[in-house]
Copies of this chain bind each other. A is one copy, B any other.
Amino acid sequence: MSGTITIALDAMGGDRAPEVVIRGADLALERHPDAQFLVFGAQERIAPLVAQLPRVAKVATLHHTSEMVQNDDKPSQALRAGRNTSMRLAIEAVAEGRADGVVSAGNTGALMAIAKFALKTLPGIDRPAIATFFPTLRGETVMLDLGANVECDAENLVQFALMGDAFARSVLGIVEPTVGLLNVGSEDLKGNDAVRGAAARLRGGLIPLRFHGFVEGDDIGAGTVDVIVTDGFTGNVALKTAEGTARLFTHALRTSFEHSPMAKIGALFARGALRKFRERLDPRRYNGAMFLGLRGIAVKSHGGTDAFGFANAIGVAIDMKVNGFLEKIRADLTRINVPMPAPQPAAL
């Protein structure tokens, strides 16, 4: 890694902003001491926080704005209205080359709309997608789209496969990642037109990636492939179903251990084991959803995360820059120039 990396922070996005953002930036400096921050938000709230954290104070430049995107703003509203929101200014810092990436814990739809408008999509990409890591039995899997595109056709899914592949090769350092299409069965005939069409294209040999074929919902946790591709509706439901199931398990485990004196003694002895268990599946470790397909690096943090989780989201943006994700995906897209046949009008 040569030189410093500058990350633009939307200090006003998220449930506990700006505290979590500033403390998260401080924590991120432990793993990434070379990072610098452009911090956008309300000076009177941010400055006292920064003053308490000398490590951040040294590398943060504060840009005051009193405007911010609200959680219930519609994407179109956020895009048209606020030219001076902390989110907009942070994204524009990336668009104008003053920052290498942007991290926000604010309104997801607004962040995607503004990022798409200000950063633009990469040539060859019709729609950006949201990706994240999932913990699996074997390590980690990248899944996309998680909600940017509720309806997708075969071509969108093929583009997501390329984006996920480039991400896994660059950021995860996997030489030949396996890519699977999420479906309701593994046989060729299963699923809807979009997944069948995408599979046919990915099997055709013209797309240079290692296509595993169809995978099912339980392959996410099993870690069957490195990259799982799906439409934003299914991906969003799968992500949240996994989160809900994790919460149910954690709750059931806790109540079991609180049930009897014997169990409480057991929990004392097993303290280290239970901590390891929690750490391994800690959702904060997987915080940071990557917006892929844009001409810049944008990462969305969970709105309810803490400083540790926000620091991980910053880490994701830094990893994307350090590992040259944008260069890899650009190279892939120029190499592959196999447009889908134009749709033929139906005979009338």
Q: Interface residues, chain A, CB within 8 Å of chain B?
A: 74, 135-137, 147, 150-151, 182, 184, 189-192, 216-222, 230, 232-234, 236-249, 251-253, 256-257, 259-260, 262-263, 265-274, 276-277, 280-281, 348
Contact = CB atoms under 8 A, between A and B. Distances in A.
Contact of A243 (B150, B182, B217, B236): B217
A137, A190, A233, A263 pick with most chain B CB within 10 angstroms:
A233
B270 A237 contact: no
B270 A263 contact: yes
A147 B217 CA distance: 12
Nearest to A262: B269
A163 to B, nearest CB: 20
A281 B246 CA distance: 12
A262 B266 contact: no
B277 A269 contact: no
Contacts of A276: 256, 259
Contact of A233 (B184, B252, B272): B184
A285 B220 CA distance: 23
A249 B247 contact: no
| Most B C-beta atoms less than 10 A away, residue of A151, A192, A269, A280 | A269
Nearest to A224: B244
16 contacts: A137-B247, A217-B241, A218-B240, A234-B234, A245-B245, A245-B246, A249-B281, A252-B281, A256-B276, A257-B273, A259-B273, A262-B273, A266-B266, A266-B267, A266-B271, A267-B273
B137 A251 contact: yes
Given A137-B248, A257-B270, A260-B273, A184 B242 contact: no
Contacts of A220: 241, 244-245
Contact of A270 (B233, B270, B277): B270
Given A192-B233, A218-B243, A272 B280 contact: no
Given A237-B237, A251-B137, A256-B276, A191 B150 contact: yes
Given A184-B150, A245-B245, A270-B257, A236 B217 contact: yes
A302 to B, nearest CB: 12
Contacts of A236: 184, 216-217
